[in-house]
Amino acid sequence: MAASIVPFLGGVSLAAETNYDEAAVRQYTLPDILAGPDGTAVTNAEAWREIARPHQFKLLETFVYGRRLPAVPVSVTGKVDRADCMLAGNVTAERIQATIKLGDAPDALTTDVLLYLPKSARPAPVFLHLNFRGNHAEYPDPGIRLSTAWVPDNKATPEVEHVATEASRGTSSRGWPVESLVSRGFCLATAYCGDVFPDRADGRPSSALKSLGRPVEGTLPPDEPGGIATWAWQLSRILDWLITLPEVDPTRVIVVGHSRLGKTALWAGACDERFAMVVSNDSGCGGAALSRRNFGETVGAITSRFPHWFCPAFATYADRETELPCDQHTLLAMTAPRPLYVASAVDDRWADPRGEFLSCVAAEPAWKLFGLDGLGTREYPAINTPVGHSIGYHVRTGRHDLLPYDWQQFADFADRLLSK
């Protein structure tokens, strides 16, 4: 991506500050992910669980994402819609739609969950992901409920004045290969992130944070959770409901996310160890990519354009990333010993593909404590050549996107690491 066409600039020119030159990457030293509160590195899995992981998790809460939000009881509102459907390529599936109420406070919000399940091979492993524009945009099925939530719009998409239209049905479907994944035996589940936090700087007062009793206006505490933490909480609440379905294998729910929702998937997997596997696609800065590596998007750039995503403390590390007590390899290490897959795209330089890979390398010691091989290489792989063991990684051709190629690798990895 050329510096002059960095997307979503919101009128701010960052081109001059963006480094895309490997030779200009400063030297950096990463914090030790195995360190406990007194700085001593743990040497075994038990001490990781008891001492280092809680400490490292706390650093991520305090300096990047904000405090983990509490669980609340979930309940189904209205009836669960179930329908048999014939998908393209004669793939048979069952479609389930349910509205889930998140908590029992009078102002608790709801989220619409959409599932496609294979007709056989149940209980099925699940790929759960949040989407950017409403469930109806994810797949061209006229039976999918049209979102009534606020949705982002721009000249290129068919939403009008932030309201979803019939014309937006299926417009994001390139990023969700339902037929091929269902025919491989996976259940697919999705929900719209805007159901719990509209993705805009002033989204907080209309977010689920209100019903959780958090401050939504004025000066916020430095570790107050933002959009990413709220979306991660939404994923956990959806999981609470998913595992009540007899068709779903509760031990094989995989959380997946692309871009800002890839950052979210990683944080959801860190907060909730019931997710059996975590997948980050092109998550970049504040996701899989190392903040200390000055390449592509920076802490200053992301927190000035998206101040609502992180906790307020994160923005104070703009231009002083080396002082952050944690880095993004800390986030990746939170998945250990569960399988983790990180995907990059070669032209997505804004997300720093090499910084995502190096973050996997630096997270590997957490898997080693469990006797697992982690990534198993320090050599940046060739394009379209997945590598790894308990940590999988690929860099594919093309730009910032979630494509069938990416899903195919996630499914192959899940088959390899989560098969029964």
Maximum Cα–Cα distance across the chain: 59
Among 55, 260, 349, 394, binds ligand GCU (CB under 6 A): 260
Active site residue 283: no
Among 18, 97, 110, 259, binds ligand GCU (CB under 6 A): 259
Question: How many helices and strands, by DSSP H and E, does the chain display?
Answer: 11, 10
297 binds ligand GCU (CB under 6 A): yes
Nearer to ligand GCU, 199 or 364 (CB): 199
Beta carbon of residue 355, minimum distance to ligand GCU (angstroms, whole number)? 12
284 binds ligand GCU (CB under 6 A): yes
106 binds ligand GCU (CB under 6 A): no
CA-to-CA distance for 256 and 91, rounded, in angstroms? 23
User: Please, are residues 330 and 288 in contact by the beta-carbon 8 Å criterion?
Assistant: no
Beta carbon of residue 34, minimum distance to ligand GCU (angstroms, whole number)? 28
193 binds ligand GCU (CB under 6 A): no
Sheet arrangement for strand 248-258: 74-87, 91-102, 110-118, 187-192, 124-131, 248-258, 277-281, 340-345, 391-396, 387-388
Beta carbon of residue 280, minimum distance to ligand GCU (angstroms, whole number)? 10
Residues of span 336-395 touching ligand GCU by CB under 6 A = 350
Active site residue 236: no
Residues of span 301-330 touching ligand GCU by CB under 6 A = 302
Nearer to ligand GCU, 9 or 71 (CB): 9
**Cβ contacts of 102-107, under 8 Å, gap ≥ 24:** 102/72, 102/74, 102/196, 102/208, 102/211, 102/234, 102/237, 103/72, 103/73, 103/74, 103/208, 103/211, 103/212, 104/72, 104/73, 104/75, 105/72, 105/211, 105/212, 107/210, 107/211
- Torsion over CA: 237, 243, 244, 247 (sign): positive
Residues of span 148-167 touching ligand GCU by CB under 6 A = none
CA-to-CA distance for 190 and 134, rounded, in angstroms? 9
Beta carbon of residue 255, minimum distance to ligand GCU (angstroms, whole number)? 16
Beta carbon of residue 94, minimum distance to ligand GCU (angstroms, whole number)? 31
User: Please, are residues 293 and 358 in contact by the beta-carbon 8 Å criterion?
Assistant: yes
20 binds ligand GCU (CB under 6 A): no
Q: Reduced to 3 states, what is the DSSP secondary structure of residue 75?
A: strand
285 binds ligand GCU (CB under 6 A): yes
Residues of span 195-224 touching ligand GCU by CB under 6 A = none
Among 4, 7, 84, 155, binds ligand GCU (CB under 6 A): 7
Among residues 168, 172, 236, 259, the one annotated as catalytic is 259
Catalytic residues: 259, 400
Contact residues for ligand GCU, defined by CB under 6 A: 7-8, 259-260, 284-285, 297, 302, 350
